[in-house]
Structure formats: C-alpha cells, structure tokens
Amino acid sequence: MVIFKEAHPDCITLFIFDQSSAHASLGPDALHAFDMNKSNGGKQRKQKDTIIPINNPCAEFREKPQKMTTNTSEEKGLKQVLEEHGFEVCGMTAKCSPVCPFENNNCCMAHLLSKQDDFQLQVSLLEQKIIAKGHMCAFLPKFHCELNPIEMVCLLFISLMSAKMSIYSTGVGASIGTGKFRKPILGWHGGLHTSVLMHAQLRLSSDSSIGLGGLWVLINWA
C-alpha cells in the first residue's frame, strides 16, 4: 500500500486475494470464546469490546455495547458475557472435553458464545488495514488455482509484451530479459515457472504495472 500510494497518490485501489488461512487471520484482540475463562479475571487474553448483534435472541439487549472488561479492568469470563447477552447459563459447563458434539450450538458456554454473530462475522486483520488506508478489499471464492484472475492477467500482459521481453524456463527458476521469447507461452505452462508469478513484480512500462500475490493493475496503452 505504501508503494501504491507513492506511485499513485490520488488513486484508490481494489486489492483482491484468494482463499488462504493467512488472509483470514484476525487481530490480536479478536473475539474468541474458547480463549475465555468461565469466570472473570485469571489468565485470559484481552479481547476487544463489541456490539450485541441485532439477531440476539433477547430483543432488549440487541445493538447494545458489550464491554469485554469489568469496571476493575479484569477480562470478563464466559458466564458474565453470556448473561449480558441475555442467555440463561446456570448449570451449563464452560467448555466441552475433549471437543464439542457435532452440530450442537449450545452444548457449552464457549460454543454458545462462539455462534453469536459478533464472534462469527469478524473482519480479518488484512481487510481492516486495507480499509483503514482508504482502499477496498475483496476475497475470491474457492476454485482451481489456474482460474485465479491474477494468473489470467499475467498471461495477457506477457502475451502483449512478447515483442519486448523474454521469459523462459531455466529448469529451476525463470529468467527475464529483453528480446524475443525463446519459447511461446500462449499456453500457461509453456515454459513459465510459477515462482515468477508468486515472488516477482513485473514492471512492463511506466504506465502499466502488475503486482503479484495480491492483484492490482493500472493500464494506459496510449
């Protein structure tokens, strides 16, 4: 984002990412019910405050602020947070052992709280940082890697610039130079090594650039 801002200070970009557990990672203060104790305090991670979701079963608590710490700055436990959501948890175990039963939403306090929208529908840390900088972010659905738009864009650009650049396989990696292609690469796997796509950045001209890993493309062929 820093590089993009320097190159195009007046532009907003759309960052597109594929499905990856790294892309979906949450921040260090994210809400995670299974990291909480049953009671307040003790050794548990500090979590961010939230808003009780609009579909909360108890209408009187909907859209109210939910603080995750007490007035004495202790981290709240599962029991108090659930009671502040309006749930009756008397006699309910804190966490199932070793794991929660399949397809069960209220087997224990941690599972019940984890199913609430404010815990389930959290924005990833990656998306938070992009939006904070004034840009846009989208995540692609799961599909075969060869259908990823970044690979299609790379192939298009390489084909258009084939008269000016040479990209050919060395057996281990790939090389970039000037001149004609040593091998035709109209077929995606016709000599282009995948490491170039994932770890390189091709600057095709002063007005046209493509970033690899995420997707951002600016084109001016005038």
Structure confidence at residue 184 (pLDDT):
38
CA distances from 170 to 9, 38, 175 (A): 38, 59, 7
Q: Is residue 13 part of a domain?
A: no
Q: Is residue 15 part of a domain?
A: no
pLDDT band at 112 (very low <50, low <70, confident <90, very high): very high
Co-location of 55 and 95 in the same domain: yes
Structure confidence at residue 119 (pLDDT):
93
Note the pTM of the prediction, 2 decimals. 0.57
pLDDT band at 208 (very low <50, low <70, confident <90, very high): very low
Q: Is residue 14 part of a domain?
A: no
Which residue has better confidence, 155 or 117?
Answer: 117
Co-location of 109 and 168 in the same domain: no
Rounded CA-CA distance 118/179 in Å is: 56
Nearest to 68 by CA among 77, 56, 59, 58: 77
Co-location of 165 and 102 in the same domain: no
Co-location of 114 and 162 in the same domain: no
Instruction: Please write down the HEC assignment for all residues of 45-99.
Output: CCCCCEECCCCCCCHHHCCCEECCECCCCCECCHHHHHHHCCCCCCCCCCCCCCC
Number of domains in the chain: 2
Read off the pLDDT of residues 4-51 as tens digits, 9 standing for 90 and up: 888 888 888 888 887 777 888 898 999 999 999 999 988 898 999 999
Co-location of 98 and 167 in the same domain: no
CA distances from 201 to 57, 90, 91, 153, 211 (A): 50, 58, 58, 13, 6
Q: Is residue 159 part of a domain?
A: yes
Domain boundaries, position 45? 29-123
Q: Is residue 189 part of a domain?
A: yes
Q: Which of 93, 123, 153 is a domain's end point?
A: 123
Structure confidence at residue 37 (pLDDT):
94
Structure confidence at residue 24 (pLDDT):
82
Read off the pLDDT of residues 83-107 as tens digits, 9 standing for 90 and up: 999 999 988 999 998 888 887 778 9
Tell me the pLDDT of the chain averaged across its residues. Answer: 74
Read off the pLDDT of residues 48-64 as tens digits, 9 standing for 90 and up: 999 999 999 888 999 99
The answer, yes or no, to whether residue 137 has pLDDT greater than 70, is yes
Co-location of 118 and 164 in the same domain: no
The answer, yes or no, to whether residue 164 has pLDDT greater than 70, is no
Structure confidence at residue 145 (pLDDT):
66
Q: Which of 92, 123, 154 is a domain's end point?
A: 123
Co-location of 109 and 80 in the same domain: yes
Co-location of 66 and 113 in the same domain: yes
